[in-house]
Amino acid sequence: MHASDSFRTARWLRTVNLVLQAILFLSFFGGLNYLARNYAWRFDLTQHRRHSLSPETISYLRNLQLPVRIIATFTEDAENSEVAQAWRDLNGLLREYAYATEGRPARITVEYIDVYQRRRDADQLGLEQPNVILLTCADKRRVVTLDELYRVEALEKKAFLGEQTMTAAILDVSSPERKKIYFLTGHGELRPDDVDPARGLSALNDQLKLRNFDIDLLQLSTARKIPEDAALIIAAAPQGRYDASEQELLRQYLATRAGRMILLLAPEVPHGLDDLLYDWGVLVDDVAIYDTNPESFSDNGDFILRNFSPHPVTQTLLDYRMTLRVGLCRSVRPDPGRASGNGLLATVLAATYPTAWGEASYRQRRVPEYTPGVDLKGLPNMAPANRLGVIVASERVQMRDNLPFSVRTGRLIAFGTGDLVVNQRLASEGNLTLFLNAVNWAVERDTQLKIPARPIERFQLSLNQRELTQLRYSLMVALPGIAAFLGLFVYWSRRN
């Protein structure tokens, strides 16, 4: 074989080898992109999970029935520093909403427009001013202002409430109607429009509205019937007895209309709902709970509950090891006199320590002391074993051929305290979480409901003039000098 033929063959083999390497590289690169596109793994390692949506929001987005369009009218290069900060805080959050619904028929789309440069688009959307967020779904729309995105204390932004606000707005425009909650009145109950720290529920009212509920008042003595749009009825610490006709209205609502009800029953006050509670296998004892365990009390005398049973209402508290803070409370437990096997499921949600007892003679105002045979004590053969229950959830489980099937049934939750959600106690994260979970479980929004506010993290570097001068020379002289020295050292090493 001639030398020229050998050279031509070697060159041809080398060319084929290079082409094959290029094809393999492109195939490998394309395969990695395909895997990254279709099988992506995302991990949020930030302290407060700043780049992740809460389980509550994700649950709502999975059940989104109609597409939602989000239009933000501010940009990154806004001259106003507050607007620029809002863009930085909200931009990543809106991307997460779009990503969570990507590939779904009912998805969320996000776009930014300048109302001055795109005047025609702004007019079509009905936007007359900048620095707002517009959400539209079918013929429903809602505008969110920047003030709604932050919690401000002493004129300083303390927390970013963007996810709470945006999720509530998405629910508002995408839901065909809001579920309506009625608070009973006429017997001295706590009112949702009262701002009193010890007796008002205005903070709870704001939280419920934020979660897309309508709130109204209902006086049974004048209404004479339960409204048809009642998704949930709440009796918050009544100070007098409901009469027989009022109790019958509530019984019929729960039984025939698969109604939902939450009772907050304070001790020392008769409630007149014994027949209704008996129907649902719940026994509310006329006692006041006391305890000698120091772990049962906070430094300000609040009674602490930290023993919870697994249930959709309490799961968040178990996961995050939260506690409840209440005042004086009474015992609530499954009624041992109710026959089993009737499709009724009563579950103790929160209980005391084994050292607690129910004081039967609390009206005598003497120093509480456990008296065997008189006072109430937890028994080992009754739920909760050796403890006193404080919160009980009861529901009817429909059965057919010994199998549960999906039929809407009534639900009731009885609290042995009346001040769990008053304004001054709602600051306790456990109280708010548990009650919101109870509301959502009652109306069949069985999701993890707590959307925490995200703290605003600020980093400030404080330097005096001498330190600033040292930093300037370090950046301008020291770092380039080190790089030049390393370059000369490498050059000298190669030369020798």
The CATH number of whichever domain residue 144 belongs to comes to 3.40.30.10
Give yes or no: residues 162 and 307 share one domain: no
H or E, element range at 144? strand 140-145
Is pLDDT of 17 > 50? yes
Is 457 part of a structural domain of the chain?
no
Give the pTM: 0.65
pLDDT at 237: 95
pLDDT in tens, 394-412: 998 765 445 444 456 899 9
- What string of DSSP letters covers 375-396? SB---TTSSSTTS-EEEEEEEE
Is 481 part of a structural domain of the chain?
no
Is pLDDT of 241 > 90? yes
Is 226 part of a structural domain of the chain?
yes
pLDDT in tens, 295-351: 898 888 899 999 999 998 998 788 778 899 999 999 999 988 775 556 788 999 999
Give yes or no: residues 12 and 124 share one domain: no
Give yes or no: residues 394 and 285 share one domain: yes
361 Cβ partners below 8 Å, 6+ apart? 371, 374, 375
Last residue of a domain, one of 133, 150, 169: 169
Give yes or no: residues 201 and 345 share one domain: yes
Is 430 part of a structural domain of the chain?
yes
Give yes or no: residues 126 and 12 share one domain: no
pLDDT at 77: 60
Whether the CB-CB separation of 35 and 47 falls below 8 Å is answered with no
Give yes or no: residues 274 and 375 share one domain: yes
Give yes or no: residues 285 and 388 share one domain: yes
Give yes or no: residues 30 and 94 share one domain: no
Is 336 part of a structural domain of the chain?
yes
Is pLDDT of 154 > 70? no
Which of these ranges, 85-89, 248-252, 291-295, 322-326, has the smallest mean pLDDT? 85-89
Q: What's the mean pLDDT when you consider all of the chain?
A: 83
pLDDT at 449: 41
Give yes or no: residues 68 and 20 share one domain: no
- What string of DSSP letters covers 325-380? EESS---EEE-TTSPSSSSEEEEEEEE--TT-EEETTGGG-SPP---TTTSB---T
Give yes or no: residues 18 and 59 share one domain: no
Sequence letter at residue 129:
Q
pLDDT in tens, 264-291: 999 889 999 999 999 999 999 999 999 9
Q: Which of 251, 277, 411, 259 is nearest to 335 (CA)?
A: 277
Is 82 part of a structural domain of the chain?
yes
The angle formed by the CA atoms of residues 186, 192 and 198, to the nearest 5 degrees, is 90
Domain count, the chain: 3
Return the CATH number at 435: 3.40.50.880
Radius of gyration of the chain (CA): 32
Last residue of a domain, one of 116, 141, 169: 169
Give yes or no: residues 389 and 284 share one domain: yes
Is 32 part of a structural domain of the chain?
yes
CA 296 to chain centre: 26
Q: Which of 334, 432, 427, 430 is nearest to 388 (CA)?
A: 334
Is 450 part of a structural domain of the chain?
no
Last residue of a domain, one of 402, 422, 442: 442
Give yes or no: residues 403 and 345 share one domain: yes
Domain containing residue 5: 1-41
